[in-house]
């Protein structure tokens, strides 16, 4: 964008999480001195001559951004500068950004931010917010050495057509850019800043004013109650099956001391000779289980730390950095789990197993990420990740994660294979005709619904925080939902597994992985719905990016739930 640039200031450095999320912090040309009031200070003036093609292109780009409601995001002392305005029901909403400008349609309807003032009324016209009134709140620290701390920063965007750009007075009509305008367009950028002492806000709780205006907590409690009901229902079913049915079955089997009764066995007892037959594609299953364990532990630890407040939004990029570092360090459990299962499936090719565990799932994620980055780079986006960071991520993966996976796999293969309580028969049993709901596909499709029901409200807020730049701070809720999700996935799988073992179908390994793993498919469907109903994304590149990043999340979620 063609706004005022800060001359000769160094860019602040970013951590790994910020770079991966595409957050770049730029220095600003707006200069403040503490407790020095400024009124209507000029920053710079931009002139566009619409007869020149490059000027016209810049102006058109500016218009397009106003039409799509692009936002400025400013930071003072690591605090987002917020724009607070009144919404219905007498509530105030604080937005951690403010729009570049707004547009009045050809039939005189104000769009987005144009509703804030009745001065914006010209039809088919853009109004650019070229002036900001900034209020900075501080409190004086009494007991320490004399000093003050900033506790809040708020601003009001204004639009003024400065008649004398060199000596602006910040009054008069708004700065309008007619859609059909030709000739010369002059935009002067100015600002005013005032400092206010605010005794009531403590420095430690200075982030609260952004969170006040996010009235989502009651929805959260409702969704948690809803999820808990599902969990109680499932736990009840599982407990009933475990205690009543199995107890009855086992008692009945124990009564059969005479041989002629034993001929009429039925249910899950019949498949005892086939239940530990190695699954088809055992290699792939063991690799998925290894990667899934890695992701499960990573998510648990990250959310646990976020709950304790180490990874708050004030700590930019900390969440992503923490997750990546943990994932790299958790190569050992992945290798160990994959090796143990592969050995118990009777596998021999242990080298292939280790290599697949360390390269298959991370490789898919990295390839997807790399392609997305190429698109960003091709579009000239500032979110494109520099080459050095890509090399650093590859180094983390190859030099730390892979060796750790090998160590884990070494211990996994050294241990004896998991002992099975019953022998496997030589000849596989024939599986009888299955009823509709014990066939593999309907069972798997049903299995994903319950876990998804627990998380979909949280999912809405998470997608909002990723795509709509809203703050996400409800890690306590998220941790609770995470625990509920783990329990629901396990219980739904146990239930469905019991049903199809009773129907004498002994292919349970893949089915139990896919039953809860199918939640990821519902997640994908929800993400597609969110894309069409909530986001106004246009353009091929943006659409590919959205679905590319969504596919990474879906794969990670699939491995985790499975």
Residues 99, 69 share a domain: yes
Question: Which residue, 266, 280, 287, is CA-closest to 507?
Answer: 280
Q: What is the DSSP letter of 244?
A: I
CA angle 372, 374, 379 (to 5 degrees): 100
Q: Is the pLDDT of residue 259 over 80?
A: no
Residues 234, 108 share a domain: no
Residues 180, 134 share a domain: yes
Q: Is the pLDDT of residue 146 over 80?
A: no
pTM of this structure: 0.87
Task: Report the 10 Å Cβ neighbour count for 142.
Answer: 7
DSSP assignment of 96-135 equals SSEESEEEE-TTS-B-GGGGG-TT---TTEEEE--EEEEE
Cβ contact 247:504 at 8 Å: no
Q: Is the pLDDT of residue 302 over 90?
A: yes
Q: In angstroms, rounded to a whole number, what is the distance separating the alpha carbons of residues 418 and 415?
A: 9
Q: What is the DSSP letter of 194?
A: E
Residues 160, 90 share a domain: yes
Query: Considering the domain boundaries, does residue 10 fall inside one?
Result: no
425-430, Cβ contacts within 8 angstroms, sequence gap of 24 or more: 425/273, 425/274, 428/274, 428/277, 429/270, 429/271, 429/273, 429/274, 429/504, 429/506
Q: For the chain, what is the mean pLDDT? A: 87
Residues 208, 80 share a domain: yes
Q: In angstroms, rounded to a whole number, what is the distance separating the alpha carbons of residues 496 and 546?
A: 34
Query: Considering the domain boundaries, does residue 472 fall inside one?
Result: yes
Q: 281 to each of 206, 267, 556, how far by Cα in Å?
A: 54, 26, 20
Q: Is the pLDDT of residue 256 over 70?
A: no
Cβ contact 376:449 at 8 Å: no
Q: Is the pLDDT of residue 157 over 90?
A: yes
Query: Considering the domain boundaries, does residue 492 fall inside one?
Result: yes
CA dihedral 242, 246, 248, 252 (to 10 degrees): -170
Query: Considering the domain boundaries, does residue 20 fall inside one?
Result: no
Query: Considering the domain boundaries, does residue 352 fall inside one?
Result: no
Phi–psi pair at 344, nearest 5 degrees: -70, -20
Question: Residue 514 has what pLDDT?
Answer: 96
Q: In angstroms, rounded to a whole number, what is the distance separating the alpha carbons of residues 369 and 39?
A: 47
Residues 229, 151 share a domain: no
Q: Is the pLDDT of residue 285 over 80?
A: yes
Question: Residue 305 has what pLDDT?
Answer: 94
Question: Which residue, 16, 21, 41, is CA-closest to 29?
Answer: 41
In the predicted model, what is the mean pLDDT of residues 330-354? 94
Residues 197, 100 share a domain: yes
Q: In angstroms, rounded to a whole number, what is the distance separating the alpha carbons of residues 124 and 375?
A: 34
In the predicted model, what is the mean pLDDT of residues 259-278? 73
Question: Residue 141 has what pLDDT?
Answer: 81
Q: In angstroms, rounded to a whole number, what is the distance separating the alpha carbons of residues 41 and 31?
A: 10
Number of domains observed in the structure of the chain: 2
Q: Is the pLDDT of residue 341 over 90?
A: yes
Query: pLDDT for 437-475, tens place per residue?
Result: 888 899 899 889 889 988 888 898 889 888 877 777 778
Question: Residue 263 has what pLDDT?
Answer: 54
Q: In angstroms, rounded to a whole number, what is the distance separating the alpha carbons of residues 479 and 342?
A: 31
Q: Is the pLDDT of residue 17 over 70?
A: yes
Question: Residue 381 has what pLDDT?
Answer: 84
The 3-class secondary structure across 197-226, one letter per residue, is ECCCCCHHHCCHHHHHCCCCHHHHHHHHHH
Residues 232, 100 share a domain: no
Question: Residue 212 has what pLDDT?
Answer: 65
Q: Is the pLDDT of residue 421 over 60?
A: yes
Please name the residues in contact with 411: beta carbons below 8 A apart, sequence gap of 6 or more.
336, 339
Residues 35, 155 share a domain: yes
Residues 235, 186 share a domain: no
Query: pLDDT for 79-104, tens place per residue?
Result: 889 998 887 777 777 888 899 999 99
Q: Which helix (H) or strand (E) holds 402?
A: helix 402-414
Query: pLDDT for 54-63, tens place per residue?
Result: 999 999 999 9
Question: Residue 218 has what pLDDT?
Answer: 67
Task: Report the 10 Å Cβ neighbour count for 360.
Answer: 15
Q: Is the pLDDT of residue 491 over 60?
A: yes
Percent of the chain with pLDDT over 70: 96
Query: Considering the domain boundaries, does residue 207 fall inside one?
Result: yes
pLDDT bracket for residue 217 (50, 70, 90): low
Q: Is the pLDDT of residue 304 over 90?
A: yes
Domain extent, residue 183, equals 31-213
Phi–psi pair at 139, nearest 5 degrees: -130, 145
Q: Is the pLDDT of residue 183 over 90?
A: no
Q: Is the pLDDT of residue 170 over 70?
A: yes
Distance of CA 410 to the CA centre of its chain: 34
In the predicted model, what is the mean pLDDT of residues 379-397? 90
Residues 41, 179 share a domain: yes
């Amino acid at each position: 964008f063609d706004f005022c640039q800060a001359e000769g200031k160094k860019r602040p450095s970013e951590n790994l999480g910020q770079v991966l999320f595409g957050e770049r912090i730029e220095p600003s040309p707006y200069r403040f001195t503490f407790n020095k009031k400024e009124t209507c200070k000029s920053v710079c003036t931009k002139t566009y001559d619409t007869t020149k093609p490059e000027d016209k292109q810049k102006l058109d780009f500016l218009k397009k951004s106003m039409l799509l409601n692009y936002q400025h995001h400013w930071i003072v002392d690591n605090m987002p500068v917020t724009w607070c305005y009144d919404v219905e029901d007498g509530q105030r909403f604080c937005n951690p950004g403010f729009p570049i400008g707004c547009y009045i349609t050809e039939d005189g309807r104000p769009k987005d931010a144009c509703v804030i003032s009745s001065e914006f009324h010209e039809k088919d016209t853009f109004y650019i917010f070229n002036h900001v009134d900034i209020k900075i709140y501080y409190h004086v620290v009494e007991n320490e050495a004399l000093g003050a701390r900033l506790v809040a920063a708020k601003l009001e965007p204004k639009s003024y057509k400065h008649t004398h750009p060199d000596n602006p007075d910040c009054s008069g009509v708004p700065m309008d850019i007619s859609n059909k305008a030709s000739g010369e367009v002059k935009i002067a950028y100015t600002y005013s800043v005032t400092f206010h002492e605010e005794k009531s806000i403590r420095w430690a709780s200075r982030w609260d004013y952004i969170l006040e205006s996010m009235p989502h907590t009651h929805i959260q409690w409702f969704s948690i109650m809803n999820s808990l009901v599902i969990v109680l229902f499932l736990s009840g079913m599982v407990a009933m099956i475990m205690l009543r049915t199995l107890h009855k079955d086992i008692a009945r089997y124990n009564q059969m001391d005479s041989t002629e009764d034993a001929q009429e066995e039925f249910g899950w007892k019949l498949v005892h000779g086939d239940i530990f037959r190695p699954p088809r594609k055992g290699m792939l299953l063991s690799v998925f289980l290894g990667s899934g364990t890695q992701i499960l532990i990573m998510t648990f630890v990250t959310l646990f730390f976020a709950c304790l407040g180490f990874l708050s939004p004030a700590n930019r990029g900390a969440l992503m950095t923490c997750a990546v570092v943990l994932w790299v360090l958790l190569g050992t459990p992945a290798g160990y789990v994959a090796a143990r299962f592969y050995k118990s499936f009777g596998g021999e090719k242990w080298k292939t197993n280790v290599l697949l565990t360390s390269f298959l799932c991370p490789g898919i994620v990295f390839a997807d990420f790399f392609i997305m980055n190429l698109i960003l780079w091709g579009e000239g986006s500032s979110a494109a990740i520099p080459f050095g960071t890509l090399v650093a991520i590859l180094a983390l993966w190859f030099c730390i994660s892979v060796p750790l996976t090998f160590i884990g796999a070494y211990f996994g293969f050294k241990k004896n294979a998991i002992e099975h309580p019953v022998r496997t028969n030589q000849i596989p049993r024939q599986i009888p005709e299955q009823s509709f709901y014990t066939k593999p596909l309907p069972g798997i499709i049903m299995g994903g619904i319950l876990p998804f029901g627990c998380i979909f409200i949280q999912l809405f807020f998470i997608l909002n925080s990723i795509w709509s730049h809203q703050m996400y701070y409800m890690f306590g809720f998220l941790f609770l939902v995470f625990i509920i999700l783990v329990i629901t996935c396990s219980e739904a799988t146990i239930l469905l597994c019991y049903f199809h073992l009773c129907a004498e179908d002994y292919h349970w390994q893949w089915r139990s992985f896919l039953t809860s793993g199918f939640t990821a498919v519902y997640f994908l469907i929800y993400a597609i719905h969110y894309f069409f109903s909530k986001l106004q994304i246009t353009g091929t590149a943006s659409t590919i990016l959205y679905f590319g990043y969504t596919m990474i999340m879906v794969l990670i979620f699939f491995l985790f739930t499975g």
